[in-house]
Amino acid sequence: MPVNYTPSLAHDLLPVSGLSIGIAQAGIRKVGRKDLTVFLLDEGSSVGAVFTQNKFCAAPVQVSQIHLAATTAIRALVINTGNANAGTGELGLQHTKETCYALAKLLNINPDQVLPFSTGVIMETLPIDKLLAGLPSAIANLDVNNWYAASEGIMTTDTVPKSYSEKIVIQGHEITITGISKGAGMIRPNMATMLGFLATDARIEPSLMKGLAFDLAEKSFNRISIDGDTSTNDSFIVMSTQKASNPVIENWDGELAQQVKQALTRAAQNLAQAIVRDGEGATKFITVKVSGGSNASECRLAAYAVAHSPLVKTAFFASDPNLGRILAAVGYSGIKDLDQTKIGLYLDDVRVVVNGGRDPLYTEEMGQAVMKKSEILVHIQLGRGDAEDTVWTCDLSYDYVKINADYRS
Amino acid sequence: MPVNYTPSLAHDLLPVSGLSIGIAQAGIRKVGRKDLTVFLLDEGSSVGAVFTQNKFCAAPVQVSQIHLAATTAIRALVINTGNANAGTGELGLQHTKETCYALAKLLNINPDQVLPFSTGVIMETLPIDKLLAGLPSAIANLDVNNWYAASEGIMTTDTVPKSYSEKIVIQGHEITITGISKGAGMIRPNMATMLGFLATDARIEPSLMKGLAFDLAEKSFNRISIDGDTSTNDSFIVMSTQKASNPVIENWDGELAQQVKQALTRAAQNLAQAIVRDGEGATKFITVKVSGGSNASECRLAAYAVAHSPLVKTAFFASDPNLGRILAAVGYSGIKDLDQTKIGLYLDDVRVVVNGGRDPLYTEEMGQAVMKKSEILVHIQLGRGDAEDTVWTCDLSYDYVKINADYRS
């Protein structure tokens, strides 16, 4: 059960004009499961993307990057679950190329206009024949109203589908934003086995799309952590079908541009946080805010150290205010010349630590009361400057071990 | 149950001439538990130490460092369990100073000749009155044959006491080495809540002791990882009572010096590995060796990424050869310009990955057979150079979560 997350209903997910989606059951890992999804974008659409920083990135990540470098006219996405096609060497690359080639042929576009994505078990050969055989069914299924089915089609260990949709009217122009994401473990900065697909019809200058994907990821998918592992396959894609009536956004300065970006950020954050809320075995959603840093980068160091610490995460699972573990994590986070006598720590509104020591007014009961909640704010003050940053994470439970020990069984 | 580790029997632990140990039940956290240990060194002894790199280091770590800087004539160590006296601010420092002062008075030495150590829960006030009240009993108990009781006296979540003892004869000189350690979770490079105390009677030039402690830690306590957390209290101390008959070791070049250092390294590695074998919830002992690096430092980066990965560790727990997770960890370890097509991976003698892809001869059954063992060698080849390094770790089990969620209850 995800933490305070209710999946959207199918009819809540608004179609984005110029984008249709088809889903098929290709039997890639198990039969009777939606495991193949195709996105088809109208001509004239634009795409921006960011990918895992893992050097051992999967074949589809390598090929997607090549295709994005080769053309600005991306027309299709193909996503399979059940197999990540990572650690598969030259054969894996060949399989991904075959996939793009086959889909391009069926859609009458060029292979480099296809972006491929895979998620699932690493280091197993992709059952390419099953995947190719499933493509015609996915294409036959293409429909603008298929967002909900797509949100199911990209799930792996997710317990619920994740999606977000919103219609905004800015200066008389109606703009639609709809997206889906999948997690759920192995999430961390620079993403992890997560996929995020966000689409809008807002007209945006194509040259802005790459930077937009980066900016959105920095405020959403790059600020979440489940277990500190970074996957080989993470990808976040922003698409614009350019079908809305707004004047083309040529930079992010104007009122309309800012409102569009805010809405897209809201959508990306919602999709990213949904991954944490459905983190493997998660029972709590924890916001780790670090303020008072010399710069944002050291705030992130401290925040991630806390968010990745198995000791901190098990304490949250147990609702045990063993909060010294948070101080310990800040202490080893790698911030240079950290002065422990300036550190402060709040749990929601409860001041726990002042000047690096336990607040004399703090009681175990006060900490316990916060720890029992399902949504908790950990606020660490470094006392060194004005910078701050925030990451989102979840606790570490028995079920995390169970899920990851049993993943393939 | 630790993995393939049988604690020494009391009579196996050889006394080190010039060093006596006293243990008491001070009731610091629970009554009826050995929780206070005093080491008394004869005059003329020498001590070297390394401490946690955690910036949020505990009061005793701060005071020990001050005392080591102030005098070379350390005469006593005092160790309490049940409370780490970390995150306790100015009051914590005062408590540690009071402890040293009280012990010094009882032993008729100076307070700065005492090194204090604490381990246990962080951020709770040290019950200083109980500790001080226990000191006379500990002193009354001083005896050269108390190593076994001391190995029990420093335990926290350890399931077994950890110790090592050996007598060597080099060039006709009899030299004794005896040590104890405690873990068990929260261990990682630069140590974590681990304490290690290693003593010898070998005559060693006092100015070598600090470097000796560093060198030994680099081959033992700084090469282990349980969960990636680094504690506020880690300390490793090497003591020489200078009572043996060997000519004083003035550098590590000669035959005798090398043999002494090898024996001390063996002892330190044994004590460090015992911590991993008794890692919280551990069911397997895993050696992660990375070879073919441009330098040892990048080999360590990769080895620690693997050793810290919760996904890798749960796979080992489940005996599931989901070995792509190892590749993923190497990929995100931070090695610059890593070429995935040069990576190789062996599990014991089984070649799993060659040229960054699955070995065509590798079968799931071969991997499974190794994964079922309780001692496993993971060997990663980077294909970039001749450097290598090794770390030791354990798997991540249900019991890790249970122990850390229940630690204080």
Where do the structural domains in chain A lie, given as residue ranges? 10-277, 285-406
Beta carbons of A239 and A194 less than 8 angstroms apart: no
What pLDDT is stored for residue A230 in this prediction? 60
Q: Tell if the CB–CB gap between A56 and B401 is shorter than 8 Å.
A: no
Instruction: Please report, as a single letter, which amino acid is at residue B340.
Output: Q
Instruction: Please report, as a single letter, which amino acid is at residue B396.
Output: L
Q: Tell if the CB–CB gap between B407 and A330 is shorter than 8 Å.
A: no
Residues on chain B touching A332 (C-beta within 8 angstroms) = 52-56, 190, 229-230
Preferred mutation among A93, A119, A358 to probe B, highest tally of B CBs within 10 A:
A358
What does each of the 409 residues of chain A score in pLDDT, given as a tens digit?
A: 789 899 999 999 999 999 999 999 999 999 999 999 999 999 999 999 999 888 888 999 999 999 999 999 999 999 999 999 988 889 999 999 999 999 999 999 999 999 999 998 888 899 999 999 999 999 999 999 999 999 999 998 888 999 999 999 999 999 999 999 998 654 433 334 789 999 999 999 999 999 999 999 999 998 887 555 566 788 999 999 999 999 999 999 999 999 999 999 999 999 999 998 988 778 999 999 999 999 999 999 999 999 988 888 888 988 888 788 898 889 888 898 999 999 999 999 999 999 998 999 999 899 999 999 999 999 999 999 999 999 999 888 777 676 666 544 4
Residues on chain B touching A90 (C-beta within 8 angstroms) = 355, 357
Instruction: Report the 10 Å Cβ neighbour count for B218.
Output: 14
In chain A, the residue whose alpha carbon lies closest to the alpha carbon of B125 is A358
Q: Tell if the CB–CB gap between B405 and A315 is shorter than 8 Å.
A: yes
Per-residue tokens: A294 = 């010399």
Q: Tell if the CB–CB gap between B87 and A327 is shorter than 8 Å.
A: yes
What residues of chain B score a pLDDT lower than 70?
184-192, 226-231, 400, 402-409
> In the block, which residue shows the tokens 């509104």?
A349
Helix (H, G, I), strand (E, B) or coil at A190: coil
Residues on chain A touching B294 (C-beta within 8 angstroms) = none
Rounded to the nearest 10°, the torsion over CA A50, A299, A267, A77 is 10
Residues on chain B touching A51 (C-beta within 8 angstroms) = none
In angstroms, what separates the C-alpha of B394 from chain A's closest C-alpha? 14
- DSSP code for A177: E
Residues on chain A touching B190 (C-beta within 8 angstroms) = 332
What pLDDT is stored for residue B139 in this prediction? 98
Q: Tell if the CB–CB gap between A340 and B57 is shorter than 8 Å.
A: yes
What pLDDT is stored for residue A186 in this prediction? 43
Preferred mutation among A93, A156, A157, A401 to probe B, highest tally of B CBs within 10 A:
A401
Q: Measure Cα distances from B282 to A19, A29, A154, B224, B394 in Å.
A: 50, 31, 34, 13, 6
Q: Tell if the CB–CB gap between A86 and B230 is shorter than 8 Å.
A: no
What pLDDT is stored for residue B1 in this prediction? 79
* E-only strand ranges, B243-355: 285-293, 344-347, 350-354
- Average pLDDT of the residues of chain B: 91
In angstroms, what separates the C-alpha of A1 from chain B's closest C-alpha? 19
Q: Measure Cα distances from A144 to A15, A49, A326, B158 in Å.
A: 5, 22, 47, 59
Cα B54 to the chain's mean position, in Å? 15
Q: Tell if the CB–CB gap between A230 and B328 is shorter than 8 Å.
A: yes
Residues on chain B touching A314 (C-beta within 8 angstroms) = 400-401, 404-405
Cβ within 8 Å of residue A218, ≥6 positions away: none
Nearest to B228 among A92, A310, A323 (CB): A310
Query: What is the Cα–Cα distance from A308 to B143, expressed in whole angstroms?
Result: 44
In angstroms, what separates the C-alpha of A52 from chain B's closest C-alpha? 9
Query: What is the Cα–Cα distance from B185 to B230, expressed in whole angstroms?
Result: 9
Which residues of B are catalytic, by number? 193
Residues on chain A touching B51 (C-beta within 8 angstroms) = none
What pLDDT is stored for residue A395 in this prediction? 87
Nearest to A230 among B332, B407, B409 (CB): B332
User: pTM score, two decimals?
Assistant: 0.81
Q: Tell if the CB–CB gap between B335 and A55 is shorter than 8 Å.
A: yes
What pLDDT is stored for residue B191 in this prediction? 34
Helix (H, G, I), strand (E, B) or coil at B88: strand
- Dihedrals phi, psi of A358, to nearest 5 degrees: -60, 135
In angstroms, what separates the C-alpha of B83 from chain A's closest C-alpha? 11
Cβ within 8 Å of residue B137, ≥6 positions away: B22, B24, B25, B26, B36
Return the ∠ at Cα B145 (arms to B142 and B147), rounded to 5°: 90
Cβ pairs A/B, distance under 8 A: 227
Q: Tell if the CB–CB gap between A314 and B357 is shorter than 8 Å.
A: no
Q: Tell if the CB–CB gap between B400 and A355 is shorter than 8 Å.
A: no
Which residues of A are catalytic, by number? 193
In angstroms, what separates the C-alpha of A121 from chain B's closest C-alpha? 8
In chain B, the residue whose alpha carbon lies closest to the alpha carbon of A226 is B310
Fold classified for B285-406: Ubiquitin-like (UB roll) (3.10.20)
Element (H, E) at B369: helix B364-371
Q: Tell if the CB–CB gap between A55 and B122 is shorter than 8 Å.
A: no
Residues on chain B touching A231 (C-beta within 8 angstroms) = 328
Helix (H, G, I), strand (E, B) or coil at B404: helix
Q: Tell if the CB–CB gap between B358 and A124 is shorter than 8 Å.
A: yes
In chain A, the residue whose alpha carbon lies closest to the alpha carbon of B307 is A229
Domain B10-277: give its CATH code: 3.60.70.12
- B305, with CB counted inside 10 A (0-12, 13-18, 19+), is buried
What does A196-242 look like in DSSP terms, one character per residue?
EEEEE---B-GGGHHHHHHHHHHTTGGGEESSS---S--EEEEEE--
In angstroms, what separates the C-alpha of A351 from chain B's closest C-alpha? 13
